[in-house]
Structure 1
């Protein structure tokens, strides 16, 4: 214990703490980066349920720090709390990884394992959150204040470094590595699990070098007891004509004046916290709604480089590392030169405005993104398009509708789906097809809310119809969907990348399958009875659904492309402005808010304000959970709603800030000086509450 890094006042033990934090943040953000797509693609949940569960998990991660702080302060101390809850953390990661292995039981088993794993992870990451940074601060002597401040800067950098690398790497493990015939979520969760094992091992390895402070009691519990006693005492004396300057003064019968004064200062700040969850409701949607938006965008930068939708979250951590020095060294000084008083609360209000602007930008992007989405038919209707494989133009009339007024040319890519009214959950409709003056009749069964392709083709006896059901939903990972329609009299086997297709003969359709986005100039093809030249499919682009019609031309089998669902035509780069705005808002809001809370609280109450700050993040996620599950709004309207709500909350917060009086640091110093009623308070404490030890209220915070 007490060893220093060579030639410095830095304890050697902080190396283990910094590495531990890097690995832990890698494991947390790496797992969380792919979580939404896991819900959508693997568990097959819809977007709203996936968003709700994502934010329920995020909220739980910010409720549990209070539990970790209480355990550390009242029972185990920070060191043992970090060890034990890290073990819970590791178990949660392992359970989550096992739940992503397709061979483990049925869907219910996957869901159960995933939920248990997420709960354990939330207990682990939340429980150690208030302990690790404070434990690192404990390693320094009081006279090494500058070294301690630099440590927290290094600590913060390790958090962001872990976040940047994990959000870059785990989506690659998910999408570029195939296991069990699909995206490898087991590996994407398994690597963060391994990093958490490393984090625990590194932390334990440095055990002999740590300075370990014993638990000193729970300040948060003392505050709650004091407030509860004040309320109870006031209620008990409500019938008597007794007045106190402040309702907390009713606690003076049992608790010292200094403690009461400190709680008053804390409550004034906590009241300002009331509007803050709305900011976090927007901020934390980067991993849910913004990731879902990215899946419907073009993610190619040139022909050789593409990003994955869940990798875009990396921008936030990367921009934080860039923006913090820019704001501190350039922007804030420039604003100060304009003689504008930059108070912390004004910075926070400005951060809210930037976050609202970010959602305004997200709304504009979403309005353009949805133009390529085929909306499902409403009740009582279905969607229909026509593939004309006959010789010449055909006219199609569906009974009870006025669709397809113009003749349909041969092998024309249908421009868009038409809505066919049914007036019932299902209905048989007569279809009349006219070719070269002859009209042919067929009857087809349609069901509401489904999408169909009507295939018109020529046979010796005339024109025939075949109805096939279409898959119009875009893939959640952004990859295209492909299927093949075989006009030949023999079956065909086709391999697109690593995906195989068996296409039956005689105008039969293969199943719809997802393939990787890319150029496919020479796709393997084989007939059952004869050879088949490679097929040129061209570019299979993000988000599109293609039907390739296999026909014979000049003695060769060729593939004629039909685009059922339009490819994503809004580039992923259009998300950059919203990430820039939300990160600028974070710098002004989050970092400033932490500094403000720290400066406005008495020494031994800083932990209480930290708990309050973390709860604002938790309640912000609860807001998203409620809106996602309850509102049922179109996504662009939901983005606009969140942006508008934050602007309204910003106005309320600004008004509240006008009435806030900042605590003078000299006042805090006076409060803790020897002549500030020390004897009176200590005497009062022993008289009014013998169970409270002397000078307990002078204890420094054990949490950050």
Structure 2
């Protein structure tokens, strides 16, 4: 019994392990079920948290769009730098199993810290920022650290002869990733927006549920511990490669003048490292050179969670029948479409292209994927140009915006000295004149405005401040007099799709108005309420109370992103309501984002999946993990590009989209030229050559020993003198 136990332990320590129970008589180990469930929960956790992250930065931490985009992509970049650390820890010290366990604990702590940071009652705003950033850093180390371990650990569970089952496992594994992504990007935005806590959107719950899913992922993974094959650390090939490259560079630097030139700079490592390792590194570098242009694809791809989500907030999200899509839910289209596109491309598109006698090599597929991603951003540009038509741009320095409301009984004209900004007559009780730019001589300026009404001129002294929008209300509070009332306006559209609303009370009594859960107060005789955002929806039977009576009024639809001014007038039969739309509602439907998601996902199928396949097919077996790390680094650097552009470019959004599309087209041309000169290799042939070289070296060594033995035998014997 003791020997049997020792034998099993010894086998397990060498990565072979006792044979794991199989699923239902198949060759699939039971242990992979725990790994697949773990991956589903972990991906739900990651993508669910990430789906609401940009809106969290803007609405909870109150960062601007550019800073929110920059931090979002900095976090994404860190998530793809840390896999290098996870690979080194797993291969050099802990092994894959323990690395997943320990870094998953870090992952869970990060989620908990992030969730606590989203609770409004916890400390001041600085503490919220600190907890949020700390949580994101811990999550990045957790998700990035386990990324290179979980899939490889799943592959380790199969016996060597079950290659087909292992291949199908990776397909199931990939499906679990996308299933977790689809579900989480639907659920967490609902938790954020539809569940209210602490008086607003419930970000604490939207982050808390992914934290629970990560705890479940960790528990499930640990539960399968007794069934796993656990390979011990075997030494990190990345470390060996780094040492070999470093030695070659140092040796060349020291001895290049003394020794003759060598065929390749890596050949300077031959004094210390085997030829096979050097040749494999050369093959790896040939692929890594092709990776140089690839970050630009990821710079576009990862903007789905930042710029595209922000674009969606300024669109009409109503699909009718009470079905509203949240802006951060649109990201689920990518994961959903990829599940559909993979079989379509494999069984439909690629065979049809082959029938046209067009040879689709992996590198050609990747170049085509880049073009599709560029088309996605062209589509996003067209959508953005139409979206901004409903947006009022803030005035620049030394300018203000002004619009005029004529609440008098006949038309008026308004003149600003030295300017013809409002030259046409303004009719009574019509919609406002629309915002007009008013130049200023400095940070602020006093204007003496002339108002002409019924042939009489009235003058008003009004002070305007730069970079501010105003409404100028003209009314007769007292018989025979004209009153000019200047009010600052809120022109920034709501990023949540809410509508802004204010009331003007022409009644002789004060009025309190209740709209949903919000309360407005408008003083008598042309008092103006505060601006308050209200959720988009139909508002009928709104209660208006004066000191003497209660009224019910209908406001109708308060639409996405609009700004309304409602004028309340008293007549014998009640209150008369006039609703004016100061800022146009979002009139571009969110369905117009579907084409850009269609193109970006098709590009992902051709670029990402093919790129992984190419990397593995062109790499020697010992270098596959290094190339995997290199591939993940292209994603990290892609996010760095977005970070730089978001913070440094300072251009309009549609221009930025067009810039990214143009850059990717240029990069795809460069990549195509590089691909044209690339020669595909067969690693199996390389192994054969290495085996032959090794056999030849052994024969030469054997022959030299024989010759040495013969020469020693033939030597004349010395005699003692």
Residue 463 of structure 1 corresponds to which residue in structure 2? 482
The alignment status of 1:316 with 2:330, answered yes or no, reads: no
Report the secondary structure of 2:396's partner residue.
coil
The alignment status of 1:593 with 2:591, answered yes or no, reads: no
Residue 13 of structure 2 corresponds to which residue in structure 1? none
Residue 56 of structure 2 corresponds to which residue in structure 1? 38
1:165-209 deviation per Cα after TM superposition (whole angstroms, max 9, x unaligned): 111111111111111111111111111111111111111111111
Residue 285 of structure 2 corresponds to which residue in structure 1? 267
1:683 deviation in Å?
13
TM-score, length-scaled by structure 2? 0.92
1:67 deviation in Å?
0.3
Residue 303 of structure 2 corresponds to which residue in structure 1? 285
Residue 163 of structure 2 corresponds to which residue in structure 1? 145
Report the secondary structure of 1:301's partner residue.
coil
1:384-419 deviation per Cα after TM superposition (whole angstroms, max 9, x unaligned): 011121222222222332122122122211242011
Matches for 1:209-288 after TM superposition, within 5 Å: 209-288=227-306
Matches for 1:629-640 after TM superposition, within 5 Å: 629-640=647-658
Moved more, 399-408 or 57-66: 399-408
The alignment status of 1:192 with 2:210, answered yes or no, reads: yes
Contact 1:380 1:421 in 2 (8 A): yes
Separation (CA, whole Å) in 2 of partners of 1:119 and 1:469: 41
Moved more, 180-189 or 488-497: 488-497
Contact 1:532 1:556 in 2 (8 A): no
CA spacing shift, 1:671–1:158, aligned 2, 3 Å:
farther
Separation (CA, whole Å) in 2 of partners of 1:34 and 1:357: 26
Moved more, 11-20 or 298-307: 298-307
Separation (CA, whole Å) in 1 of partners of 2:674 and 2:174: 30
Report the secondary structure of 1:5's partner residue.
coil
Residue 517 of structure 1 corresponds to which residue in structure 2? 536
Residue 701 of structure 1 corresponds to which residue in structure 2? none
Contact 2:426 2:433 in 1 (8 A): no
1:671 deviation in Å?
5.0
Residue 363 of structure 2 corresponds to which residue in structure 1? 345
The alignment status of 1:331 with 2:349, answered yes or no, reads: yes
Residue 386 of structure 1 corresponds to which residue in structure 2? 404
TM-score, length-scaled by structure 1? 0.95
Separation (CA, whole Å) in 1 of partners of 2:231 and 2:176: 24
Report the secondary structure of 1:677's partner residue.
helix
Contact 2:539 2:555 in 1 (8 A): yes
Residue 471 of structure 2 corresponds to which residue in structure 1? 453
Contact 1:532 1:557 in 2 (8 A): no
Q: Identify the match of residue 5 of structure 1 among 13, 20, 23.
A: 23
Contact 2:477 2:525 in 1 (8 A): no
Residue 406 of structure 1 corresponds to which residue in structure 2? 424
CA spacing shift, 1:640–1:557, aligned 2, 3 Å:
same
Matches for 1:43-192 after TM superposition, within 5 Å: 43-192=61-210
1:616-635 deviation per Cα after TM superposition (whole angstroms, max 9, x unaligned): 00000000110111111111
Contact 2:193 2:202 in 1 (8 A): yes
Residue 700 of structure 1 corresponds to which residue in structure 2? none
Contact 1:282 1:355 in 2 (8 A): yes
Matches for 1:543-582 after TM superposition, within 5 Å: 543-582=561-600
CA spacing shift, 1:158–1:221, aligned 2, 3 Å:
same
1:512 deviation in Å?
1.6
- Radius of gyration: which is bigger? 2
User: Over aligned residues, Cα RMSD in angstroms?
Assistant: 1.7
CA spacing shift, 1:136–1:377, aligned 2, 3 Å:
same
Residue 644 of structure 1 corresponds to which residue in structure 2? 662
The alignment status of 1:472 with 2:476, answered yes or no, reads: no
Report the secondary structure of 2:474's partner residue.
strand
Residue 691 of structure 1 corresponds to which residue in structure 2? none
Residue 488 of structure 1 corresponds to which residue in structure 2? 507
Separation (CA, whole Å) in 2 of partners of 1:682 and 1:470: 89
1:577-605 deviation per Cα after TM superposition (whole angstroms, max 9, x unaligned): 11100100000000000000011111111
Separation (CA, whole Å) in 2 of partners of 1:535 and 1:251: 85
Separation (CA, whole Å) in 1 of partners of 2:252 and 2:409: 92
1:573 deviation in Å?
1.1
Moved more, 548-557 or 17-26: 548-557
Moved more, 645-654 or 5-14: 5-14
1:311 deviation in Å?
0.8
1:538-562 deviation per Cα after TM superposition (whole angstroms, max 9, x unaligned): 1111111111122223431233212
Report the secondary structure of 1:534's partner residue.
strand
Q: Any unmatched runs of 5+ in structure 2?
A: 1-17, 702-721
Separation (CA, whole Å) in 2 of partners of 1:492 and 1:198: 54
Report the secondary structure of 2:525's partner residue.
coil
1:43 deviation in Å?
1.3
1:507 deviation in Å?
2.1
Separation (CA, whole Å) in 2 of partners of 1:415 and 1:47: 30
Separation (CA, whole Å) in 2 of partners of 1:238 and 1:416: 75
Report the secondary structure of 1:434's partner residue.
strand
